[in-house]
Amino acid sequence: MSEVARALTIAGSDSGGGAGIEADLKTFTALGVYGMAAVTSITAQNTCGVYSVYDVPAQMVTAQIDAVTEDIGVDAAKTGMLSNAEIVEGVCESIRRNQISRLVVDPVMIAKSGDALLQPDAIKTFITRMIPLAFLITPNIPEAEKLTGQKISTVSDVNPVIKHIADLGAKNVLLKGGHMGGKYAVDWLYDGENLTEFTAPRINTHNTHGTGCTLSAAITAFLAKGINLYDAVRSAKNYLTVAIRHSFDLGKGVGPLNHFWVFSELEEDR
């Protein structure tokens, strides 16, 4: 085991810096973890939308994963935007080959702006190949509906949907309930037997670009440190909540979180 925890993000690049590998690496740094990245796609993106996407060849994606794993090592990894079936297949093969067991799968399908980030013909490959490798999968409500074909309208719909996703092969499922509305933001963690709620006050802000990336990256960081899943999810949700609370206006659209609020508060205390 390395003296410093090592976390790898396998995801797309957001030129606007609010989501994707940029958000992941900021999160890793803020939480004291050494971050590495395997870039899957390059996006021309800002706070208003995604304007162009260039997918990195699958062979280059797997070469990046292999390079850092063989030399530096990986304590935990996460996936984000995988874009097409070839990249999904390549990443799965590399995850198996390098025996990365603490894998957080964020099923990035649609950007905050509504732009598609996973091609429709890649969804089946994602379900059959990627989900069974997940130590934890972190879908939001629209993603969970797309993965299962089931609607989530009320809390009573959570249990069957989350169990359906677990039946697809994921060891643990974290269903993010932010889209459900209400006074509190509630997420549900299912470990195959128990369903646990994680609740935080809902913050009234439109600056939520990169929340899914940030939460999954924070969980990955805590797992890389050897923290158990429940405490990793709880700590990650707390980190995200304060990052949203400290978010700021930037650009003309959906603004970013403040990933470095920890350091801001330290400065204020001086």
Q: Which of these is catalytic: 90, 212, 237, 255?
A: 212
128 classed as catalytic: no
Q: Which of these is catalytic: 176, 177, 237, 255?
A: 176
Q: Which of these is catalytic: 211, 220, 237, 255?
A: 211
Q: Does domain 6-269 have CATH number 3.30.360.10?
A: no
- Per residue in 87-144, pLDDT (tens digit) is 999 999 999 999 999 999 999 987 666 677 888 889 999 999 999 999 999 999 999 9
Q: Are 62 and 91 in contact (CB under 8 A)?
A: yes
Which DSSP helix (H) or strand (E) runs through 232? helix 229-245
116 has which bridge partners?
110
- Per residue in 235-245, pLDDT (tens digit) is 999 999 999 99
Helix (H/G/I), strand (E/B), else coil: 155: helix
210 classed as catalytic: yes
208 classed as catalytic: yes
d(CA 85, CA 45): 22
Q: Which of these is catalytic: 78, 213, 237, 255?
A: 213
6 has which bridge partners?
34
Q: Which of these is catalytic: 16, 17, 210, 255?
A: 210
92 classed as catalytic: no
For residue 109, the model assigns a pLDDT of: 85
* Beta strands across the sheet bearing 34-45: 50-55, 34-45, 6-14, 76-79, 103-105, 136-137, 173-176, 184-190, 195-201
Question: Where along the chain do its domains lie?
Answer: 6-269
211 classed as catalytic: yes
